[in-house]
Amino acid sequence: MEILPPRTGELIGDSADRRIELLCDDEALHATWSRFGPRRNGASLHVHHHHADLFYVLESELTVSVGLEGTVVVPAGTLVYASPMVAHGFRNGADVDVRYLNFHAPGKGFADYLRAGRDGVEDSFDQAEPPADGGRPPEEARIGETDLLQDEIEVHELRLEPGDVLQPPAAHRRLRCLFVLEGALALADDVLAEAGTWVRLSEPRQTLACAGSEPVRFLDIHV
């Protein structure tokens, strides 16, 4: 089991208006935690040919473009899924910091692309300008679903009350990760994961429980 408490991921960049930490670089999933300052641009419209791109907004709101014309303001607690070849981009359109998670499934070199940018080295990545026809229909994107099941990834936002226990899934994928949003989660070997903690489970079929007297809310990610 790998546990990353808040602000202990691999540092990609840290400045007044931007901090990015790498949480997972398994070939099946590359995950980052990001803070963007007010009105900071993220990425212009682009497509990924061979992987899906997901965002989960933790604090404030993220402005997301989907397709060549559509833009939506995504509030905290919202999941965004852009399937391969769906044009998308993002920025912080608010006057306060935004914090969010970003998932690439499968990774397709995203982690090395970030490291190369940090270290001043050129590197390629599965990202391109949208094709002339705009790419896949923007309707293939998903915004606001708390339970997402796709070929590349599944994400569930779960809540356990004090005393609740979540039994292992009957079927599982190779990799299972967790991100604690609120409260504290009890893991194997009496390990506690508090809010803001990223967990990569060594055994996907693991029992989880609410720790303490307050509910716990977390993302359960399978790839």
Per-residue pLDDT of 184-219, as tens digits, reads 999 988 899 999 999 999 888 889 999 989 999 999
The pLDDT, as a whole number, for residue 196 is: 98
- Residue percentage of the chain with pLDDT more than 70: 100
The pLDDT tens digits of the residues spanning 135-178 come to 999 999 999 988 999 999 999 999 999 999 999 877 677 899 99
Residues of the chain with CATH 2.60.120.10: 7-146, 154-222
Residue 152: name the closest of 173, 138, 169, 178 by CA: 173
What homologous superfamily is domain 154-222 in, according to CATH?
Jelly Rolls (2.60.120.10)
Query: 3-state class of 17 per DSSP?
Result: coil
The pLDDT, as a whole number, for residue 168 is: 84
Whether the pLDDT of residue 69 is over 80: the answer is no
| C-alpha torsion sign, points 172, 174, 180, 186 | positive
Coarse DSSP helix, strand, coil percentages of the chain, rounded to the nearest 5 percent: 5, 50, 45
Average pLDDT over residues 23-49: 97
Query: Taking all residues of the chain, what is their mean pLDDT, rounded to a whole number?
Result: 95
Q: Which residue has the higher pLDDT, 212 or 83?
A: 83
Residue 52: name the closest of 19, 75, 85, 20 by CA: 85
Distance of CA 11 to the CA centre of its chain: 16
Question: Is the distance from CB of 134 to CB of 67 less than 8 angstroms?
Answer: yes
- As given in the structure block, the two tokens for residue 183 are 């409260």
b (16+ CB within 10 A) / e for 32-60: bbbbbbeeeebeebbbbeebbbbbbbbeb
Entry field: residues in the chain: 223
Whether the pLDDT of residue 179 is over 80: the answer is yes
Residue 193: name the closest of 165, 218, 168 by CA: 218
Is it true that domain 7-146 has CATH number 2.60.120.10?
yes
The pLDDT, as a whole number, for residue 212 is: 86
Between CA 59 and CA 212 the distance in angstroms is: 24
